[in-house]
Structure 1
Amino acid sequence: MTRQQTAGVAVVMIGSFVAALDQTVVGTAMPTVIGELGGIDRYALVFSAYLLVSTVATPLFGRLADVYGRKPLYLGGLLVFVLGSVLAGLSGNMNELIVFRAVQGLGAGALLPVGLTIIGDLFAVRARARMQALFSTVWITSAVVGPTIGGLLTQSLSWRWAFYVNLPIGAIAAAVMIVFFHERVARHSSDIDWLGAGAFGLATLGLLLGLNGVAPALTLAGAAAAAIAFLFFEQRASSPLIDLSLVRLPAVSSGIALNAVVGIMLFAVTTFVPPFMQGVQRRLPIEAGLIVSTTSLGWSSGSIFMSVAMIRLGPRRSALIGTTAWGIGAGLLTLLEPASPLAQAVAAVVLIGFGMGLTLNPILVSVQSVVSWSRRGIATSLVQFARSLGAAVGVTALGGVLVTAMGPEAARSAGALLNPSGRTEIGPAEAAPLAAGLHAVYVVMLLVAIVGAYLASRLPARLIEPETGEIPIGDALDARPR
């Protein structure tokens, strides 16, 4: 790699590690936070405020990066994220913490999509496949070491250091980018469709709030109205937030849809496997957590394999192998019984994680390879946005499947099954409705994997060179923005 490529990769990996680490470190520190600040009734808002703002902001930052360049948007996102982290560490009550977590989410909405776009800019198509696999290891590493770091910081220093730790790491990333990374921005219209951006943000926010049970009738109706307004604005804007012609490209439309399915499967594992382990098989919470964490082992294995194999197999076959692995894993989940061995659940989640590692990189590389520099930021951000939205919609829908299959009365009493101190007095018959409900969820997951395989079959058969308008790699580096 050249010095510029090395600097770009280093900056993106450090910045992404900060954002990824934050999600796992904070989860470990939050019980101590509640003990000091109180406000357990607002516990979930600490996480949802971050996710809501980052999801809404992602497409806007992607478009801004196409207009003004990657470097200023990435640095701005990093600055906002670090500022939010410091303020969160200084929080004196839960309300302040929730607000400052939203500030962190705003910065994170730039870090991931713009970082992935920088990697797409720095490398030609074939090298891009390997680099995106390397990039994904950041999230895997954070998932493994994050809880331990969070526990050490909280126990040795204070829960506040779970947030302060982002300051020195973020400063290093910013310094490297300022000194070593330069780009030339393509000449094109700098207009931003702010009306469309506002309507898009309102539509997304309303949908996510409605799915989380916040005045659903009002927020979902508002989301629908804002979505209609967004389409109206985009069709008339000279420089739309989202060029609707993008979704007419098969690689982009299939990639966006498939990544939404990835979001469903990923969060379905972390949400609906632990209840079976604890409530039906009577395992300890730590056992359930360890089982789910093995997903990262499969994911890392799949990413490493894909970094080599995708060039030979092409995006379509690579993603088909990945979605097939999801299907086998989901099939193993449907066969779980109260007396099933632990190895069966481990094999299921490892296979699903392996499939994720095989699928994510073909999606991203396919999408980035069919668009020019001036549209790569928004295309990349739409892929990431789809995964977040798919996760939110999918988990809510699967939760509805669970409650429906269990029946309302059994669903109301399910809490006793998941309470380690009280479930020893509950017999297998009382756990049967929970087992039946989760079995229905796993069947739906299997159907989702089949849909994923269909979408994977619509990805390009081989890596495609970019459309005209691409800035040559050499020209994208070693030049000041103009």
Structure 2
Amino acid sequence: MSTAPVDTSTGIWQGRYVWVTVGAVALIFLAAMQSLAVTTVMPVVSADLDGDALYAVAFAGTLATSVIGMVAVGAWCDRGGVLAPLTTAVILFVVGLVVAGLAASMPWLVAGRLVQGLGTGGQTVALYVVVARVYPAVLHGRVFAAFSAAWVVPSLIGPFLAGAVTEALHWRWVFLGVAALTVVAFTMVVLRLYGLPLGADRPATGRIGPRMACAVAVALGALALSLAGRLGAYSWAVVAASALVIALASRPLLPRGTLLARRGLPSVVLMRGLIAGALFGAEIYVPYLLIDHYDFSPTWAGLGLTAAAIAWAAAADVQGRFGDRLGNARITVIGTSLLVTSTVVAAVVAVLMLHPAVLIAGWAFAGGGMGLMYPRLTVLTLAYSTPQNQGFNSSALSISDSVGAATSIAVMGLVFTALAGTDAAFPAVFAIATGLALLALLPGLRLGHAHEAATTQRR
């Protein structure tokens, strides 16, 4: 078996694991920096390129195409090694950033974001498989806690730095700077992974063509959903048709029974999509609200996301240390309660125009809830997996993540556009997020138990 033998005396920052950990965390760090930065500066980008109509598409499009990258890289990993698919994904990520950074119009920026999505999705799956094949199971919880912690520094400086760079230089450097740093980080990663036994002993042999076709259909459905608001009277018909396409095409890409919240891995995957939709769909409107209603600068609006990201990292560390003691059901209840609290607070702030500090403090609860749930769901996914389906299950988790976020962003964007100019626009998107977070309780209480006790971090 290609997975590294168990060595409980060595931590992830020691011995043969240290440089792999550093490289992988660096890539997560840069992806986090880019995500937080784009969320902060997109209102400015949209105004500069006259792209209000494509505001939601710039986010949803990246998530939509990431599904294709996830499926392709997941199947590639299950059929062999990890290094080649990871390299391809990083190249696409960098190319997409460069295209977006040089875009002269909003459609070109969206095109760059679509290419970037291919790389982002593939990179995420490849790194999950690296964890499964390089580290012993007992260290998986620690690695994913480190991945979550990699959001700490970006959360502290990312939004603020993105705003500062936008004001002092130009928003283009938010894209181009991350592209350059990603090349440096990946160079370090590839040197450390080269020569390690990263292949599966018994590669998967199933057909990939039908799954790729489904991935493309899901991506096209999500893109159509995000563009529905531009179709006037036909908007809701396109929404219904797109949702149907996404539901049907995503079934072969997910564990059997996912859409029915079947106990075990299917519920793990479904819950991931619901909480991703709740958080990421609403989060892009937090800096938007601060800029639009409270006249925040991009620099200070970015800080509205900082408290949530710090809470995410802190909660992820708690999950890494005590996740097994808390148990899956308790983590679900606590995590969803915190997420619901944050979206309700955001809606109330938007309705009553409370002090912006209430919004910023309230949104921190969302980070705390996600920090508990996100890494736990990843650990559970690997615990339910075998070396032959690690790529499929990892890609399924990420697909659910992206489809849930892309769909909610598209629907929220459609609702927001329909209510633009009224006092109901911002409260409506936060109300949708609240509903998704409450719905996540259904699969969340059906997660079951694999052998995650062995993969949860203990110190």
State the TM-score, normalizing by the size of structure 1: 0.74
Is 2:33 the partner of 1:18? no
Residue 348 of structure 1 corresponds to 362
Task: Give, as a single letter, the amino acid of the residue that structure 2 aligns with 1:136.
Answer: S
* Distance (Å, rounded) in 1 between the aligned partners of 2:291 and 2:45: 26
Residue 379 of structure 2 corresponds to 365
Is 2:285 the partner of 1:297? no
Is 2:182 the partner of 1:194? no
Q: Deviations over 1:282-309 (max 9, x none)?
A: 6333576544442223212211222211
Report the CA distance between 1:155 and its aligned residue.
5.9
> Does the CA contact (< 8 Å) of 2:60 and 2:406 recur in 1?
no
Instruction: Give the percent of matched residue pairs that are identical in Structure 1 and Structure 2.
Output: 22
Is the alpha carbon distance of 1:315 and 1:72 closer, same or farther for their aligned partners in structure 2, counting shifts above 3 Å? farther
Report the CA distance between 1:270 and its aligned residue.
2.0
Report the CA distance between 1:220 and its aligned residue.
5.5
Is 2:400 the partner of 1:389? no
* Distance (Å, rounded) in 2 between the aligned partners of 1:139 and 1:131: 13
Most deviating of 11-20 and 89-98: 89-98
Is the alpha carbon distance of 1:55 and 1:143 closer, same or farther for their aligned partners in structure 2, counting shifts above 3 Å? farther
The one of 274, 279, 295 equivalent to 1:284 is: 295
* Distance (Å, rounded) in 1 between the aligned partners of 2:98 and 2:288: 35
> Does the CA contact (< 8 Å) of 2:311 and 2:365 recur in 1?
yes
Residue 144 of structure 1 corresponds to 156
Is the alpha carbon distance of 1:122 and 1:197 closer, same or farther for their aligned partners in structure 2, counting shifts above 3 Å? same
Please provide the CA RMSD for this pair.
3.9
SS at 1:212's partner residue?
helix
Is 2:438 the partner of 1:450? yes
Task: Give, as a single letter, the amino acid of the residue that structure 2 aligns with 1:146.
Answer: G
* Distance (Å, rounded) in 1 between the aligned partners of 2:348 and 2:46: 39
Is the alpha carbon distance of 1:312 and 1:356 closer, same or farther for their aligned partners in structure 2, counting shifts above 3 Å? same
Is the alpha carbon distance of 1:220 and 1:114 closer, same or farther for their aligned partners in structure 2, counting shifts above 3 Å? farther
> Does the CA contact (< 8 Å) of 1:133 and 1:304 recur in 2?
yes
* Distance (Å, rounded) in 2 between the aligned partners of 1:224 and 1:130: 38
* Distance (Å, rounded) in 2 between the aligned partners of 1:169 and 1:271: 24
Report the CA distance between 1:268 and its aligned residue.
4.6
Q: Deviations over 1:223-248 (max 9, x none)?
A: 746865776xx5xxxxxx65648889
The one of 374, 390, 393 equivalent to 2:388 is: 374
* Distance (Å, rounded) in 2 between the aligned partners of 1:276 and 1:101: 23
Residue 109 of structure 1 corresponds to 121
SS at 2:63's partner residue?
helix
* Distance (Å, rounded) in 2 between the aligned partners of 1:289 and 1:96: 24
Task: Give, as a single letter, the amino acid of the residue that structure 1 aligns with 2:320.
Answer: S
Report the CA distance between 1:157 and its aligned residue.
5.8
Select the structure of larger CA radius of gyration. Answer: 1
Report the CA distance between 1:359 and its aligned residue.
0.9
* Distance (Å, rounded) in 2 between the aligned partners of 1:455 and 1:19: 28
Residue 251 of structure 1 corresponds to 264
Report the CA distance between 1:54 and its aligned residue.
1.9
* Distance (Å, rounded) in 2 between the aligned partners of 1:224 and 1:74: 32
Task: Give, as a single letter, the amino acid of the residue that structure 1 aligns with 2:382.
Answer: Q
5 Å-filtered alignment, 1:330-479, equals: 330=343, 332=345, 338=352, 340=354, 344-397=358-411, 411=419, 413-414=421-422, 434=424, 445-461=433-449, 463-464=451-452
* Distance (Å, rounded) in 2 between the aligned partners of 1:391 and 1:107: 17
Is the alpha carbon distance of 1:189 and 1:264 closer, same or farther for their aligned partners in structure 2, counting shifts above 3 Å? closer
The one of 276, 280, 283 equivalent to 1:263 is: 276
Is 2:216 the partner of 1:205? no
> Does the CA contact (< 8 Å) of 2:19 and 2:192 recur in 1?
yes
Is the alpha carbon distance of 1:210 and 1:179 closer, same or farther for their aligned partners in structure 2, counting shifts above 3 Å? closer
Structure 2 residues without counterparts, runs of 5 or longer: 1-10, 455-459
SS at 2:373's partner residue?
helix
Residue 61 of structure 1 corresponds to 73
SS at 1:285's partner residue?
coil
Aligned length: 430
> Does the CA contact (< 8 Å) of 2:282 and 2:409 recur in 1?
no
Task: Give, as a single letter, the amino acid of the residue that structure 2 aligns with 1:260.
Answer: G
* Distance (Å, rounded) in 2 between the aligned partners of 1:101 and 1:297: 26
> Does the CA contact (< 8 Å) of 2:258 and 2:267 recur in 1?
no
Q: Deviations over 1:365-418 (max 9, x none)?
A: 111111112211221222122122222333454567778xxxx7xx3542xxxx
Is the alpha carbon distance of 1:464 and 1:56 closer, same or farther for their aligned partners in structure 2, counting shifts above 3 Å? same
